Amino acid sequence: MLSAEQFVKKFKDVKTLPYVVTELSRLISDDNTTMKDFEDIIKMDPTLVARLLHLVNSAFYGLSQQVTSIDRAVAFLGMRNLRSLAVTDALQNIFKEKVSAGIFSRKRLWLHCAVVSTCSKILAERIFGINGDDAYLCGILHDFGKIIEEQIATDDFLAACEACQPTDSLIEHEHHFLGTDHCEIGYLLAQDWGMSPAIQEAIRDHHTLLENADPSNLTSILQIAQYITGQMGYSSLPDITSPLSPSLVLHLQENMAEYKVLIDDLPEEIAKALDIYET
């Protein structure tokens, strides 16, 4: 069996995140960064430029006039949203590289992550009134450790998935077959990619049940988003549901009216978001 650190090292030996993504993360952490700095990095990746212009002109934003320049698109989206786009674009290519087998499906996992990221962003903005870009990033990254497990220890990872029943925790089966889990692997990779500590911790703890979880932090937002989208049938494995920390169950009960409105709007928001990436 391998440790989480060994999984990450082996993955990095064969696959690296595009330079543009790591540079965008570095620029965001630098207080002296300008929008021009972002434009210069984006221009290095023609595929990302095309995706950027497609996104800003999509139904997701519904602008009355078409945006055709990189500087206007960058200015409109903002730095953090731009990083989310770059990360999503890079991960999508990795998710689609291999035909999946058995109960595990890369396509299903990608759909799960895309939906959770959309829901996380909406939760952050509508329920808690905070910027949703980091919440989105948590959603798109939270299960990436599963891709690493599948690539590095395919048979053992698939065995863990096959052993997992609807009421089970995949984490327990991962530890049995692999010696670690996707949360720890994802946490280490988020560190390596220069993500903020709050994003790192959300990825590490998104399956951890806490007695006094603060509903408004990234970990809780991610956990709630997983729960809601799981109830809608967007789980990463068939029929698997994500449990909620007790304090988050209480939070949902106390704010059910707000959540009902959000859940009613989710299918349309998910459809618009998925259309951008032709999922």
Q: What is the pLDDT of residues 34-86, one digit of tens each?
A: 878 878 877 777 767 777 787 777 766 777 778 887 788 877 777 777 777 77
The percentage of the chain sitting over the pLDDT mark of 90, rounded to a whole number, equals 46
pLDDT at 33 over 50: yes
The region of weakest confidence among 133-147, 191-205, 235-249, 263-277 is 263-277
State the pLDDT at residue 79. 73
- CATH says 4-16+99-277 is which class? mainly alpha
Domain boundaries, the chain: 4-16+99-277
pLDDT mean across residues, the chain: 85
Please tell me the pTM assigned to this model. 0.82
> With 90 as the cut, is the pLDDT of residue 253 above it?
yes
Q: What is the DSSP string of the chain?
A: ---HHHHHHHHHHH----HHHHHHHHHHT-TT--HHHHHHHHTT-HHHHHHHHHHHTSTTT--SS----HHHHHHHH-HHHHHHHHHHHHHHHHHTSS---TT--HHHHHHHHHHHHHHHHHIIIIIS-S--HHHHHHHHHTTHHHHHHHHHSHHHHHHHHHH--TTS-HHHHHHHHTSS-HHHHHHHHHHHTT--HHHHHHHHHTT---TT--TTSHHHHHHHHHHHHHHTT--SSTT------HHHHHHHHHTHHHHHHHHHHHHHHHHHHHHHHT-
* pLDDT tens figures, 99-135: 556 788 888 898 899 899 999 999 999 999 998 989 9
Q: Assess whether pLDDT exceeds 60 at residue 162.
A: yes
Residue 279 is predicted with a pLDDT of 46
Does residue 160 contact residue 178 with C-beta atoms inside 8 Å?
yes
90 confidence band (pLDDT: 50, 70, 90): confident
* pLDDT recorded at residue 227: 95
